Homo-oligomer: A and B are copies of this chain.
Amino acid sequence: MGKVDNNKKQKETTLYNAAYELFSQKGLTKTTISDIVNAAGVAKGTFYLYFHDKYDLHEKLVAQKVTGMVINAFQALSRKDLNNFEDTVFFLIDHIISQLEADHVLLNFVYHNLSWSTFTQTILDDSMRQLDIPTQLDTFLLQSNIHFEHPEFMFFTIIELIEGTAYNCIYYQQPAAMEAYRPYLHKAILGIISQFQIS
């Protein structure tokens, strides 16, 4: 990678970082391209060398952040040695919830962007294609000896459940803080899993 390419990648990263900060602070609508380039310390025209508009940037950033969060969880999982299916699911869920609890900026940012379709349709750039989550989950199911009716429906159900509850509990502490609610979230997920499991 030549000096120029290196420099390009750096500019792009600076723009991503600046935008992430601003989107989190002011929201997508109130953040302007001027804001972003000012914060990034580049000229306005430079923005358009990398992104079509702020929505383009946002979309790519969401894909990055969501995927990054899940990658973290799986990497942490690989360092554990869990054989039990339910423990594994809870580990992943709790890891993601912990990340969201630790970083409200991230929480706010991925809310409403952490959905099943993010994993199945997101246009990931090359650096992220390493992690194909649906495939990983399939492999993971094969390794355990448990069988589910429509496992993709189950995962969809669980993910949508987490997204909504995590945001309310962490951000608004509504109807309770995550600490208080978490046991019930676990229970609910257990209930869901038991319904999908086959004999």
- Which A residues are within 8 Å of any B CB, using their own CB? 29, 112, 115-117, 120-121, 149-150, 152-154, 156-157, 159-161, 163-165, 168, 172, 174-176, 181, 184-185, 187-188, 190-196
Residue of A176, A188, A195 with most chain B CB atoms under a 10 A cut-off: A188
Residue in B closest to A114 when the chains form the complex, CB atoms:
B164
Q: A161-B161, A164-B164 are in contact. List 14 more A-B contacts (CB 8 A).
A: A115-B164, A116-B168, A117-B168, A120-B174, A154-B184, A156-B175, A157-B185, A160-B163, A160-B168, A187-B192, A188-B191, A188-B192, A188-B196, A190-B195
List the B side residues contacting A112 at CB < 8 Å: 112
Judge whether B172 and A165 touch: CB under 8 Å. no
Taking the full assembly, how many copies of this chain does it contain? 4
Contact of A161 among B115, B157, B193 (CB under 8 A): B157
CB distance from A172 to the nearest CB of B (A): 6
Can you give 8 A-B contacts (C-beta < 8 A)?
A115-B168, A120-B175, A153-B184, A156-B168, A156-B175, A157-B185, A160-B163, A190-B195
List the B side residues contacting A191 at CB < 8 Å: 188, 190-195
A117 to B117, CA, bound (A): 25
